[in-house]
Every structure is written in C-alpha cells, then in structure tokens.
Amino acid sequence: MLGIGDYVKKVLTNYARRYFGEDIVAISIWRPSYFDFYAPLRRRIKLAIILRGIDPDMFINLSDLNLDIQKLPDIDAQAEIFDISEFTTRFTEGFIPETYIVEYGQFVDGIDYYFELKKSGYRCSDSAVAETVDRAFIAYGMALNEILGKNINLVLENVAYSVGYSMIALYQHIKGAVPRSIWDAADTIPAKEKDVLINILSRLTGLINKEDLAEYLENVVTGASYPDELLISLLQDDFGRDLLILPYQILGICWERIFRKKIMTIENFFYKLIRELKDLPYSRLELRGTRPIPILRIRGPIMRSFELKH
C-alpha cells in the first residue's frame, strides 16, 4: 500500500478542522487500496471525518470542503462525513467503508476512539455483505450508463468499482472480514471456481489498464448515437465485448456464491437490454443488486424495467 505523506495529512486535516471544528470526534485518512488493480485509482485518498452528529447544513460544508480539496495541486482526495453512532455500529457489523477506515486508515484525531474500535473488532453481517453486493451492481449499471454518454474513462472506473465490490462481498461472505485486495479475496474461493475467477480477473484487469484503451473505445463508438447502437458497437469489438461481459460474469459468480441463485445469462441480459433500448433517443440506466433478484430500470421517454431472472 502506498503511503500518505505528512504534508498531505496536515493539509487535509486543517481543511477538515476549518469546516467542522468542535463537532469532530475523529479523523482518519486512508486509501481504498482494494482498487489498486486499476492504475488511475492508486493515488486516490479519502478523508474520513467522524462527527458527534450530522444535521443537513453539514452537507453544505462537506460540499464546500470538497470543492476546496479539488483545487489542491497533485492531491486526488475526497472527504466524507460520518455520524459517530452510526459509524460505530456499521464498523462492528463489518460494513464498508467503515471497516477499511478503522483497519487500514492513518489516524489523525480521535486515536483512542479508533483503537477502541480495533480492539473490539468486527464481523461482517449478512446486511453488510448484501450492501456490498448492491454496490457492485450499482457500479456496473453506472458503467453501462456512462457508455450511453460516451464517457469511456468513467466506464473503466465504474467497471473497476464493480469488480472491487464484487470481490469484497465474496470475501465478506466467506471470511466474515474485508480483504486487502481482490487477489486476497480470490484466494478464498474453492479451487475449481478460483481458477475460473482468477482467469476472468486477470483478463479484465489487464484490459482496463491497457494504454490508450479509452481512446480506442471512443473511436469504436464514434458512429453510434442511439443507446442500443452504442452497446451493439462495443459488443462487436473484441475489447469492448470483454469490457461488458467479464465484469457481468464476476457479478454472476458473486450472486450465485452468496445467495445460491443464478442471475440472467450475459447473452439474455444484453439481448433484452438492447431490445428495450431500441429506438429510444436517450435513456438512463439504474441497476440494483438487491434480493430477491437484481433489477434494471431504464429511464427515458418510456420507463421500462426487467429483472435479471435466470
């Protein structure tokens, strides 16, 4: 894990204190290192601010704080605020990001509070696992959505998020804890499944880190304008097809392993999605991975949805 320099910690801490002052209980600066498999995310830093309580006005302060942070040169950081009571409960039950903030963060303020949490420990609950699964599906839906907007760099980033959350969920389910990396998570899977999963992960991580991939895929979708045309153009390209299919396969493995049910095959998913998008001039996609079955909603001139039933 890459370290966080003293200068960065000092700058971010000063900003946090400026905006939240006496309401601060604790501050942790941490890196979501489980996304290190995607190069553009390796420098990203999170500033976790634990508060005595949160009222609506504090989100205005948070927005202003993040605007200030964005102006800092050579620092890719984002602040988040947490209510101390909710943070404590969610850590104990093994939710993310709370577990990573405590287990792998660098404490600045409230060191005794963090050490007390680490001493008490955590165990991932079924609710924590289910929330991480949902994050994985949401991220994949956002990747599809960014394809429709031809924002290929954001497609790659959301694919990385989807893969990362899928692997965390698998590890949470099997070990009751959170992994340091997707490869640690893959190592927990039984041998037969592990070989398949590692092969998919290796192909996908190699793909999204290809130099100039975003520019290449932008050229692939150049002639397409309608949502269905954009998806078809990518599915007809080797790199584009892998970018769409491989993370969906990981979602399917994740869902089946955790909930003992299969989701819709990748062929049926894209057949149905493209059919539902046909002739729509624009649309927005929303994918949710909640029980009993994931569902995709299409918001456009006509509202449509379908469940990912096998």
- pLDDT score at 223: 86
Helix/strand/coil for 289: coil
Tell which residue, 72, 9, 1, has the closest CA to residue 35.
1
- Residues 285-292: what's their mean pLDDT? 96
DSSP states along 203-224: HHHHHHT-TTHHHHHHHHTTT-
* Structure confidence at residue 279 (pLDDT): 85
- In percent, the amount of the chain with pLDDT more than 90 equals 87
Q: How confident is the model at residue 114 (pLDDT cuts 50, 70, 90)?
A: very high
Query: What distance in Å separates the CA atoms of residue 193 and residue 187, rounded to the nearest whole number?
Result: 10
279 conformational bin, left if phi > 0, alpha if psi -120 to 50, beta if neither: left
**Number of CB atoms found within 10 A of residue 207's CB:** 17
Q: Residue 3: what pLDDT?
A: 58
Q: How confident is the model at residue 66 (pLDDT cuts 50, 70, 90)?
A: very high
Q: Is the predicted pLDDT of residue 1 greater than 70, yes or no?
A: no
Tracing tokens 């907007």 back to the chain, one arrives at 149
What number is the average pLDDT over the span 90-95? 98
Q: Domains for the chain: give ranges and CATH numbers.
A: 6-120 (3.30.300.90), 126-307 (no CATH)
Q: Which pLDDT score, from 0 to 100, does residue 23 have? A: 96
302-308 long-range contacts, Cβ below 8 Å, gap at least 24?
304/276, 306/272, 306/276, 308/263, 308/264, 308/269
Q: What is the pLDDT of residues 198-240, one digit of tens each?
A: 999 999 999 999 999 999 999 999 988 899 999 999 999 999 9
- For residue 72, the 8-state DSSP code is S
CA distance linking residue 179 with residue 194, whole number of Å:
16
DSSP helix/strand/coil, 245: helix
Q: Which two tokens stand for residue 7?
A: 């200068």
- For the chain, how long is the longest CA-to-CA vector? 59
Task: Look at residue 2 and tell me whether its pLDDT is greater than 80.
Answer: no
End-to-end CA, the chain: 39
Q: E strands, the chain, where?
A: 24-30, 45-51, 77-83, 106-109, 284-288, 295-299, 304-307
pLDDT of 154 above 60 = yes
